[in-house]
Amino acid sequence: MRRRWKPKNRIAGHVEPMHLFVTGAVLIVSFLLQANLLVRLCQVVLFAITATLAGKRLRPLYFVLMTLSITVFNLLTPVGQVLFTVVGLPVTRGALEQGISKSLAIIGLVMLSLTTVSRELQIPGVFGGLIGRVFHYFEQVLEGKGRVSARHLVESIDQILLSIYPSDDGHATATVERSTTWVGWSAIAILVVANVTLAILY
Amino acid sequence: MPDRSRGRSPLGTDRQRLDLIAFLGALCLFFSTIEYLFPKPVPFFRLGLANLPILIALDLLAPGEVLLLVALKVVGQGLVNGTLASYVFLFSAAGSLASALVMLGAFRLFSRRITLVGVSLFGALASNAVQITLSVTFIFGSSSWVIAPLLGGLGLASGLVVGLFAERFRRKSEWLRVVREHIDAA
């Protein structure tokens, strides 16, 4: 089976998952308040870097296609001054800015989410316990992933499932206790202060 | 034939039921990771293999438990993919909930007269209708209604593929047979 490259998570060792999640919530607000397109673009680039640092593999083609499609569909409804014409379609300033702004907002939110949400994030309560159990089984099923054959899909998956469930292995789910280091707190402070300042200034 | 008694959970204790739901939730995550084994005709297209355990669960769980499974699938995918705080989560949650409600309705309404292929097609229709409406409203704008038939068509095709696979799995799976026996024994 084809193995895909994934960057190393360089944030997990420094920031507790819940602290990272709360940071993301603060950054979302400052990001969405940003009206300046250039600043918003810089924020998206910053979030793309942090997402990669968080060990997430980004697919540039996906985001390019998304930006293009959102912008093109927005251009179909002309708004404001006509800049130029492409195959009979008037490209207007308002529609273009609206399309780019919308696509940057959506991509930025995805990047931010990729940075601040991790599998180690512990949701409280009964539901959180169930999610922990889901991941416990998920890890076990994933171990058999290499045995999945596209040609004999049902049979190969069946063999993996039979080897795991039902079982009497109890409900113990391994949890990793981490605390935020001073490096982590510093990075959080810089990220929050920079983004909030940009939201206030522009 | 499977037990389709309305509203009755066939599992023994709460713990056993929750354990099976958690396992099916893990399968949802697993199937979403093996989607890349199959080629994509268009970039944003998803086959929806993660819905397969939900189709199987219609036979095994009570309606409330199926909805709990859907919640575990959506939140689990959000955590694994890191999309919990983005529009992707909203789309996934809305599509999955609509699909599950319609599939539950179709499964219970048509009972023995419908296969998992039909149920899956109903679910795909509901999920696509909700997701197309959301994307037109929040992302692409009203001009994008022109591509709704294409997206709907692709969604139906994926619903058909997942339904065919689910029906085949239901008939051939030794694991499912063992789980049923386990449930009956409980």
Give pLDDT tens digits for B68-118. 999 999 999 888 878 887 888 888 899 999 999 999 999 999 977 899 999
Supply the pLDDT for residue B7: 42
Q: What's the gap in Å between the CA of A186 and the closest CA on chain B?
A: 23
Complex-level ipTM:
0.85
pLDDT (tens digit per residue) in B12-58? 567 788 889 999 999 999 888 877 666 666 656 677 889 999 999 99
Supply the pLDDT for residue B4: 44
Supply the pLDDT for residue A45: 94
Put simply, whether A158 touches B (Cβ < 8 Å) is yes
Residue A72 phi/psi, 5° resolution?
A: -60, -45
**Closest-CA residue of chain A to B82:** A114
Beta bridge partners of residue A84, listed in sequence order = A91
Beta bridge partners of residue A85, listed in sequence order = A90
Supply the pLDDT for residue A4: 61
∠ CA A44-A20-A119, nearest 5°, is: 100
| DSSP-based three-state secondary structure for A94 | helix
pLDDT-flagged residues of chain A (< 50): 1
Contacts of B95 (CB under 8 A, 6+ apart): B127, B128, B130, B131
**Closest-CA residue of chain B to A69:** B140
Please answer yes or no on whether A165 and B179 come within 8 Å at the CB atom.
yes
Q: Which residue shows structure tokens 């292995």? A: A169
Please answer yes or no on whether A106 and B168 come within 8 Å at the CB atom.
no
- Cα separation, B172 vs B167, in Å, equals 9
Task: Identify whether the C-beta of residue A23 lies closer than 8 Å to the C-beta of residue A54.
Answer: no
Q: How many CB atoms lie within 10 A of CB B97?
A: 17
Please answer yes or no on whether B83 and A110 come within 8 Å at the CB atom.
yes
Please answer yes or no on whether A158 and B27 come within 8 Å at the CB atom.
no
Compare CB distances from B72 to A113, A131, A165 and report the shortest one's residue.
A131
Q: Which residue shows structure tokens 């063992």? A: B178
Task: Identify whether the C-beta of residue B96 lies closer than 8 Å to the C-beta of residue B70.
Answer: yes
Query: Which residues on A lie below 8 Å from B87 (Cβ)?
Result: 106, 109-110
Mutate to test the interface with A, among B37, B140, B171, B177 (most CBs of A within 10 A): B140
pLDDT (tens digit per residue) in B151-168? 888 889 999 999 999 999
Q: Mean pLDDT, to the nearest integer, of B131-149?
A: 82
Q: Mean pLDDT, to the nearest integer, of B118-126?
A: 94
Cα dist from A128 to A113, A135, A179, A182, B76, whole Å: 19, 11, 20, 28, 10
Please answer yes or no on whether B85 and A165 come within 8 Å at the CB atom.
no
Mutate to test the interface with B, among A89, A140, A165, A168 (most CBs of B within 10 A): A165
Put simply, whether A110 touches B (Cβ < 8 Å) is yes
- Cα separation, A117 vs A10, in Å, equals 14
Supply the pLDDT for residue B93: 93
- Under DSSP, the state recorded for A35 is -
Task: Identify whether the C-beta of residue A106 lies closer than 8 Å to the C-beta of residue B134.
Answer: no
Supply the pLDDT for residue B143: 75
B179 closest CA partner among B7, B24, B8: B24
Q: How many CB atoms lie within 10 A of CB A19?
A: 17
